[in-house]
Chain A
Amino acid sequence: MSTLKRIPEFMWGKNFPRLSIDYDKCTVPFLCKKCLQICPEAIFNVSRVMSKEKRLEEMDPRVDGEFVLHVTRRDKCTVCNKCLDVCPVDAITIEEPEFQEFNALKRDKKWDDA
């Protein structure tokens, strides 16, 4: 559809950081909202729990488990660890990506032979 691809070639196949949230510790993210507001890349997203019974009810951010924290844009995570520092319950863990040579920088055999 588009003549211009927004994602550069070297991004395809690149490993991104993997973030996980301990939901036993993180229970009131909408009330706390520290990681949501400090993240420079805004990779988090908080939403109400979607269950059939509660679908049409109003949620209270002060009640445990009414809202859930998600990581929606881990491709933008820079592993700056600001969210780890600011989290009062240490619920976030970040798994750094393995080091990868960018596709664009991979050595071409022809150049080696020359």
Chain B
Amino acid sequence: MCFYCDQFGDKERGDGYWYLNPDNYARNMYKKRAPKQGFAGAETGLETGAHAGPSQQDLINAVENNEKETFDKLQDLMMAGQGAQVVPLDHANKVLELCSPIGLIACLCRKGIRAIDERNEMEYTCMGMGVGMLKWERWPERYKGGVKFVNIEEAIEWNEEMDRRGFCHILMMFGAPFIGGFCQCDYPDCGALRNAVDFGIGTMKSHYLAMVDYDKCNGCGICAQRCQWGALKYEVTSEKPNIDLYKCYGCGLCETGCPRKAISLVGRETMPALSEVWI
């Protein structure tokens, strides 16, 4: 169990996973969220939540000036003010059953990084969650083109379609443990995933790790196209995939993409060396 589970999880409800605890979706969580701590990201003019934490510019300056302490402070600030965790598909669908309302919205990371303007309800690749979504009309630029509110079945169907396309699912918190968004991420368009892959900060790994059953695998290579974390590669010697578990975030994309069900997710706690590695 991760450090969010220790704080916000409930053993009886949601098996101890913090994001499956119904309390964390109650209306008062929205009121309780942490006050803004004057993030440096605000001055760069980036409106997106993924960049609203410590700005990437500050991180780069810290690396350039060889300031490891500053870098660690920024990481703590990021996790305190705004955190994120990768979840596999079945947990993602359980989350969708718990929260309400759910609205499909345009992705701000893709809008910022590749200038992709999602103006059509069919194109939306982001999901807003919680009562905060009801106030969407206050920010017409953020929710340009409107919000498509969906019910649980539609949300799960949309989520599985996103999984089929190859996006991995990241829960975004806006002041832990208030879940405000459900990102569908790929590299390099997503801010949260990018910080995780490049800097190793911001996004927490899931409670799972992917393992390959080499007897079932026929080496088709579909999983190698789906890994966004640089963890799974096609091992030429054995003609089978090889997963670097130190890099694996447990998003389960390789598992859901495998046509022969050769990849399975195992609990992170079963690997003593990795059981407490969350970032």
Q: Contact between B189 and A73 (Cβ–Cβ < 8 Å)?
A: no
- With a 10 A CB-CB cut-off, give which of A6, A12, A45, A47 has the most chain B CB atoms: A45
Closest to B138 in A: A56
Bound CA–CA A59/B115 (angstroms) = 14
Q: Which of B186-209 contact A (CB under 8 A)?
A: 188-189, 194, 197-201
Q: Contact between A12 and B112 (Cβ–Cβ < 8 Å)?
A: no
A-B contacts, 10 listed (Cβ < 8 Å)? A1-B76, A42-B114, A45-B46, A47-B46, A47-B48, A48-B45, A58-B144, A59-B141, A72-B55, A73-B194
Give how many B residues have a beta carbon under 8 Å from the other chain's beta carbons.
Answer: 43
Name the contact of B115 in the complex, choosing from A3, A36, A56 (C-beta under 8 A). Answer: A36
Bound CA–CA A58/B56 (angstroms) = 26
Q: Contact between B45 and A72 (Cβ–Cβ < 8 Å)?
A: no
Residue B68, interface by CB 8 Å: yes
Name the contact of B63 in the complex, choosing from A11, A41, A47, A72 (C-beta under 8 A). Answer: A11
Bound CA–CA A3/B57 (angstroms) = 24
Q: Contact between A29 and B46 (Cβ–Cβ < 8 Å)?
A: no
A residues near B, CB below 8 A? 1-7, 11-16, 29-30, 33, 36-37, 41-42, 44-50, 56-59, 61, 68, 70, 72-76
Give the total number of A-B pairs whose CB atoms are below 8 A apart: 102
Q: What chain B residues lie within 8 Å of A49 (beta carbons)?
A: 45
Q: What chain B residues lie within 8 Å of A57 (beta carbons)?
A: 140-141
Q: What chain B residues lie within 8 Å of A4 (beta carbons)?
A: 200, 246, 277
Bound CA–CA A15/B66 (angstroms) = 10
Q: What chain B residues lie within 8 Å of A16 (beta carbons)?
A: 60, 63-64
Q: Contact between A36 and B45 (Cβ–Cβ < 8 Å)?
A: no
Q: What chain B residues lie within 8 Å of A7 (beta carbons)?
A: 63, 199-200
Bound CA–CA A85/B246 (angstroms) = 39
Q: How far is the CB of B192 from chain A (nearest CB, A)?
A: 14
Name the contact of A14 in the complex, choosing from B63, B76, B246 (C-beta under 8 A). Answer: B63
Bound CA–CA A29/B278 (angstroms) = 38
Residue B65, interface by CB 8 Å: yes
Q: Contact between B115 and A30 (Cβ–Cβ < 8 Å)?
A: yes
Residue B51, interface by CB 8 Å: yes
Bound CA–CA A79/B65 (angstroms) = 20
Q: How far is the CB of B196 from chain A (nearest CB, A)?
A: 8
Q: Which of B144-167 contact A (CB under 8 A)?
A: 144
Q: Contact between A46 and B64 (Cβ–Cβ < 8 Å)?
A: no
Q: What chain A residues lie within 8 Å of B194 (beta carbons)?
A: 73
Q: What chain B residues lie within 8 Å of A6 (beta carbons)?
A: 197-201
Q: What chain A residues lie within 8 Å of B141 (beta carbons)?
A: 48, 57-59
